[in-house]
């Protein structure tokens, strides 16, 4: 479900000609409202941390939507999925964590993949999309680091707060772009529910029985399938440099998480 994001955004912006700013704003607004029933459960959560996470989340969703619109879906999703590498770097400076040998190798592979995409994976006119993809990845890393410090067991309520924060912050930039047909509104609702809200709930439910590292490996299906759906239904073919760079990023994440999974099994 998550992997359908690239396809649905392409359909909205290319088939229905919806402005990407409207897509980012309304997608978050609908998802936040659907989960708003859980908001009372976060009344005692640390406000400034939730606000900071909401700001970071806004950079994630806005950056990803614009990146998917301006450059290829493969570039957008592979750049976003480099965020665990930036998390590892941030954890060293913020939480004073030590990097093991496996993490260093994963960082080297992942950064080589990011560099390959940023240098060779774009065509003229796609610079904005590449920059937004990188902003989305850095925002996701900041979001993950902030979320780690929020010790609060109500993820659905937090998700609603983050999406509503993004909708409010993106409202003014999107003002004047909300002219949608009924078909576009239907696709947008599907994007917010089937592609964003429902899979998030399923992921949280799966985490109750599946180890976190295994869940992280399973979610690597998203960057693999995302450009596949866009290629099958929209005819957008990823560039060779994008496939090489994306392969390096996925290899880095698999190397990092499988190592963690084996250590967890031994313990």
pLDDT digits (tens, 9 = 90+) for 211-251: 666 776 788 888 989 999 999 999 999 999 999 999 999 99
Through-space distance between the first and last CA atoms of the chain, rounded to whole angstroms: 33
Tell if the pTM clears 0.85, that is, is over it.
yes
Read off φ and ψ for residue 75, nearest 5 degrees: -60, -45
Question: For the chain, which ranges sit under pLDDT 50?
Answer: 265, 267
Predicted pLDDT of residue 4: 95
pLDDT of the residue at 263: 53
Please state, for a pLDDT cut of 70, what percent of the chain lies above it: 93
Q: Residue by residue, what is the 3-state secondary structure of the chain?
A: CHHHHHHHHHHHHHHCCCCHHHHHHHHHHHHHHHCHHHHHHHCCCCHHHHHHHHHHHHHHHHHHHHHHHHCCHHHHHHHHCCHHHHHHHHHHHHCCCCCCHHHHHHHHHHHHHHHHHHHHCCCCCCHHHHHHHHHHHHHHHHHHHHHHCCCCCCHHHHHHHHHHHHHHHHHHHHCCCCCCCHHHHHHHHHHHHHHHHHHHHHHHHHCCCCCHHHHHHHCCHHHHHHHHHHHHHHCCCCCHHHHHHHHHHHHHHHHHHHHHHHHHHHC
Enumerate the domain spans of the chain.
2-260
What pLDDT, on the 0 to 100 scale, is given for residue 180? 93
């Amino acid at each position: 479900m998550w992997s359908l994001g690239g396809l649905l955004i392409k359909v909205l912006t290319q088939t229905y000609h919806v402005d990407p700013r409207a897509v980012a704003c309304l997608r978050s607004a609908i998802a936040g409202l659907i989960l708003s029933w859980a908001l009372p459960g976060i009344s005692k959560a640390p406000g400034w941390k939730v606000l900071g996470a909401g700001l970071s989340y806004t950079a994630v969703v806005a950056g990803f939507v614009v990146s998917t619109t301006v450059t290829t879906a493969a570039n957008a999703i592979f750049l976003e999925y480099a965020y665990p590498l930036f998390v590892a770097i941030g954890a060293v400076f913020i939480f004073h964590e030590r990097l093991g040998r496996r993490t260093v190798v994963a960082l080297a592979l992942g950064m080589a993949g990011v560099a390959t995409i940023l240098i060779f994976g774009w065509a003229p006119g796609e610079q904005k999309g590449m920059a937004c993809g990188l902003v989305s990845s850095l925002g996701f890393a900041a979001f993950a680091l902030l979320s780690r410090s929020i010790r609060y067991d109500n993820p659905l309520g937090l998700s609603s707060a983050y999406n509503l924060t993004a909708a409010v912050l993106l409202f003014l930039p999107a003002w004047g772009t909300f002219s949608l047909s009924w078909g576009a509104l239907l696709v947008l609702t599907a994007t917010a529910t089937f592609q964003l809200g429902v899979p998030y709930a399923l992921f949280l439910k799966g985490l109750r029985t599946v180890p976190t590292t295994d869940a992280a490996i399973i979610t690597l299906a998203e960057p693999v399938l995302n450009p596949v759906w866009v290629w099958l239904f929209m005819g957008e073919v990823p560039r060779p440099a994008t496939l090489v760079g994306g392969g390096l990023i996925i290899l880095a994440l698999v190397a990092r998480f499988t190592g963690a999974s084996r250590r967890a099994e031994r313990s």
